[in-house]
Structure 1
Amino acid sequence: MNGNSGDPEWFRVFSPAPDAAVRLLCLPHAGGSASFYFPFAKGLAPAVEVLAVQYPGRQDRRTEPLIADIPTLADRITEELAAYRDKPLAIFGHSMGAVTGFEVTQRLEAQGNGPVELFVSGRRAPSAGRSERWHLAGDAELAAEIKSHGAAGSELLDDPEMRAMLLPTIRGDYRAVETHVYRPGASVGCPVTAFTGDSDPKVTVDEALAWTGHTTGAFHSQVFTGGHFYLSDHVDAVLRTVSARLAALAGAV
């Protein structure tokens, strides 16, 4: 099966690695885009080929309607992945991407061809719920919330024209993840590795460790210094862990 035969709108392959032993599907945070994972693609090739997901409603897909809920988003991604299943697959998701990745993993496992590992970053376990309704906040409040996390490019929200352009997409993503309903007992069978920042206001270390209750496979965790976007300062360390895990798992497949 050819990895180029799928829908090119959904996945970005920034560093093609045709001889890679495994692919890593990378899912962005709320308001994020595939380009967030450019460092992953460069850092993991040629051993791992990164498929960075581009959600509808942003960058070159900005004219497409947003997908309003996580299950539908997971359904679409799962469908598009069919053309890329000629090699073992792992999944990495940050924040909203972790929730989506968990849902995609369940769907792939139900098809009998699940990923070799799920990496969840900057997101509390599904059972560690919080009642958050930032998607209902006013524009100024929502912009301040986003900027407080220190995401690269969030300073663009200071510009009224950019705010008007960017906030609808971010608000839509927030709505999708904040209204997502946890199904008690939902779990996956593959190993799960959880990454988190020790001062992340969106997830405590204990909430990240609670992912252990959502897999019947092995569980690993790593805590880094930093907040919600700790990843920006620790890309190399995260990639070392991902590479080591995937090298071991690919050798066992």
Structure 2
Amino acid sequence: MAELLMRSAWIRRFHPGPEAPVQLVCFPHAGGAATYYHRLSQAMSPDADVLAIQYPGRQDRLSEPCIEDIPTLADRLVDELVAWSDRPLVLFGHSMGAAVAFEVALRLEQAGSVPLGLFVSGRMAPSVYRHQRMHLATDAELVAELKTLNAANVQILADETLLRMVLPTIRSDYRAIERYHNPSAPPLHCPIVALTGDADPVADIADVELWARHTLASFRTRVFSGGHFFLDDHADAVRQEIRDHIAAVRAR
């Protein structure tokens, strides 16, 4: 079974930790891939066995069609993650990944498996809706938006060949997240930790704090300096937040 799971198209284990007490499941942002969490996986080992999610339509799954609906994506992922229920799960999602992680948490709880915690990063609460149409923008407008959100991508976006490969996937992900809204979702029974940047143009702090409505357990927010990808500049602090949370819930 272990060998079968490691060959899953959906899950990457860059630093397998079969003896780790918990499994940290990481969900990428729009246009992102499992490799975004490689450094986090290395840093968290052996405290957590990091399972980085690989959505269809990118890297080694480039030939597969993207899933342009967040609930459908969550349905597919839960089918995969149920097989990993031998140890407690902690979920971490950034931007679009936060919405996917939330929907996965809902489904896990419905299946009788309550996560130890849900980390939502750089994303407004599911009960908040903003009319956004970037998925309908021109290629040039979409590239300009991406440069605004993540300066680290400027060189990649300047490569015309690479851009032609990744832009359809990014647009599909934008279509999925811009249509997502779930104000009637039942509250979770697991704690939620919301992380955000104080200058994030797409995740206002007030909207991030509304994640509190989506859990019956504890909730807290931590605001970092920076924009939408604040976690790149505060990687050590973010990792420590995860470690502290795991230690606290395990102690209880």
Partner of 1:25: 25
Shift of 1:160: 2.5
Unaligned stretches of 5+ in structure 2? none
CA contact (8 A) 1:22 1:250 kept: no
Residue 69, structure 1, aligned to residue 69, structure 2: yes
**Helix, strand or coil for the counterpart of 1:49?**
strand
Counterpart Cα distance in 2 of 1:224 and 1:19? 32
CA contact (8 A) 1:88 1:250 kept: no
The C-alpha deviation readout for 1:96-123, integer Å capped at 9, x for no partner, is: 0000000000000001112110000000
Unaligned stretches of 5+ in structure 1? none
Partner of 2:241: 241
Counterpart Cα distance in 2 of 1:38 and 1:131? 33
**Helix, strand or coil for the counterpart of 1:120?**
strand
The C-alpha deviation readout for 1:51-105, integer Å capped at 9, x for no partner, is: 0000010001101111121011000110001221100001000000000000000
What does residue range 1-253 of structure 1 map to in structure 2 within 5 Å?
3-6=2-5, 8-150=8-150, 152-252=152-252
Shift of 1:154: 4.1
| TM-score with structure 1 setting the length | 0.95
- The count of aligned residue pairs is 251
Counterpart Cα distance in 1 of 2:216 and 2:250? 19
CA contact (8 A) 1:121 1:194 kept: yes
The C-alpha deviation readout for 1:4-40, integer Å capped at 9, x for no partner, is: 4325211111111111000010000000000111111
RMSD between superposed Cα atoms in Å: 1.3
Shift of 1:175: 0.2
Amino acid at match of 1:204: D
| TM-score with structure 2 setting the length | 0.96
CA contact (8 A) 1:93 1:119 kept: yes
Shift of 1:128: 2.1
Counterpart Cα distance in 1 of 2:2 and 2:194? 28
**Runs of 4+, deviation exceeding 6 Å:** none
CA contact (8 A) 2:128 2:181 kept: no
Counterpart Cα distance in 2 of 1:228 and 1:37? 16
